[in-house]
Structures are given as structure tokens and as C-alpha cells.
Amino acid sequence: MKSIHRKIWNLALPYQDKRDDKGHAKTVVSFAIKLLKTEKADPDVVIPAAILHDIGWSRLSKKERFSIFKPEPAETGKTFSGDIEIRKKHQDEGVKIARRILSKTKYNKTLVSEILEIISEHDTRIGFISKNEGVMRDADKLWRFSRTGFLADSRRRNMPHLENLRRLKQKTRMHGFFYSKTAKKIAAEELKKRKKEFKL
């Protein structure tokens, strides 16, 4: 990692992983690095966005942070208006803290605007606005396919591993879930590993 990215990482550390998702930021950043090996996106946008995307959770109450672990609307046919408000709040708060951190490092202003734009709707935007945005959001989604993300999801949803595996497999086939084919490929590889680990 470049030294300026390392600096951003260190400044963001006190705000990271504020739900029961220890390792989320680190895992998302490693998937971003992996995706960037194939996808020609700009690391100077993707890496800071990946580091900073969820720091806004640190500004929400514990009740708010944990209230969104319910079945997803797609699985129940219902929408949760409270859920969307909380998601928007973590994005808005994230933008505020990210702006402060990036200005401390004197980051390039044009890049800062793009990074903040990505963070501002990383969980709620429908469709992708750029390659940089698509790659960063792919890295975030890939978390669920990693060992720690998979275990966190099964636990939060009170879901047997096999059901979680099937749910994730279905997601990879959903149009518009992943931005890149590379992410789809990595997700399939990760699922193979989970299948083996948990003997599913």
C-alpha cells in the first residue's frame, strides 16, 4: 500500500468495524487490491474509498447500528423504510469524517470529490456510476463471501451455513449485483472455499 493510503488507513482506524464485523475494512481493502490487478480502475480513488466507506457507522447509536440485521427486502417482499434511513445516515456521517481525514493528508481535491461521491451512496445507489465506483462496491460486497463475512452473516441472520451459501450463490447470478466479471469470479472461488471449509 502507498504511504499516503497507509496514512489514511491509520487515521481511519479508530472509526472502523463498529458493528459485529471485525475485519470488514481490512477485508474490503484486500478485495479492492485484488480486483485492481485485473480491473483498470484508479487505485488512488478505489483504495481510499474502500478504507473509508463504512467509518460513518461509528457515529450511529448501537441500536441503529444493529437494527438493520433483518431479512433483506428481496427475501421477504417487504421494504424497510427505517433501514434505508439508517443506511443513509451511515453514508452521510461517513462523508463528513472521510472529508476531514482526506484533508488532513492533503489529498488531491478532484480525487477527494470522487471518493466522497462513492461513499455517499455506496449502500443505496441503484446501478453504478463509474468503474472506480463499481470496483469499490464489488470489494464491499465480496466481504460476505470471505470466511469472516460469511460467518458474520450466518450468525446475524441466524441462518444455517448451507442456506447462506445458497443465498450468496443466488446473489452472484442477480443482474446488477456485481459490477465486474472479476468480482463474480472471485465470489465463485470464495464460495468454493466456504463449501469445503464447512463441508456443505
Interface segment toward Fe ion; rule CB under 5 A; list 47-55, 153-161, 167-175, 177-185: 47-55
Rank residues 40 and 126 by Cβ distance to Fe ion and give the closer one: 126
The SS3 assignment for 121 reads coil
**Least CB distance from residue 48 to Fe ion, whole Å?**
14
**Least CB distance from residue 182 to Fe ion, whole Å?**
19
> Longest Cα pair distance anywhere in the chain, in angstroms?
49
Rank residues 151 and 195 by Cβ distance to Fe ion and give the closer one: 151
**Least CB distance from residue 135 to Fe ion, whole Å?**
14
Examine residue 54 and tell whether it contacts Fe ion (CB under 5 A). Answer: yes
Rank residues 108 and 120 by Cβ distance to Fe ion and give the closer one: 120
What is the footprint of Fe ion within residues 171-200 (CB under 5 A)? none
**Least CB distance from residue 90 to Fe ion, whole Å?**
6
How many residues touch Fe ion under the rule CB under 5 A: the total is 3
Examine residue 153 and tell whether it contacts Fe ion (CB under 5 A). Answer: no
Examine residue 123 and tell whether it contacts Fe ion (CB under 5 A). Answer: yes
- Give the closest residue to 139 by CA, choosing from 36, 13, 70: 36
Rank residues 32 and 112 by Cβ distance to Fe ion and give the closer one: 32
**Least CB distance from residue 199 to Fe ion, whole Å?**
28
Q: How far apart are CA 176 and CA 173, in angstroms?
A: 9
Interface segment toward Fe ion; rule CB under 5 A; list 54-62, 77-85, 169-177, 184-192: 54-62
Q: What is the 3-state secondary structure (H, E, C) of the chain?
A: CCHHHHHHHHHHHHHCCCCCCCCHHHHHHHHHHHHHCCCCCCHHHHHHHHHHCCHHHHHCCHHHHHCCCCCCHHHHCCCCHHHHHHHHHHHHHHHHHHHHHHHHCCCCHHHHHHHHHHHHCCCCCCCCCCHHHHHHHHHHHHHHHCHHHHHHHHHHHCCCHHHHHHHHHHHHHCCCCCCCHHHHHHHHHHHHHHHHHCCC
**Least CB distance from residue 143 to Fe ion, whole Å?**
6
| Contact residues: Fe ion, CB under 5 A | 54, 123, 140
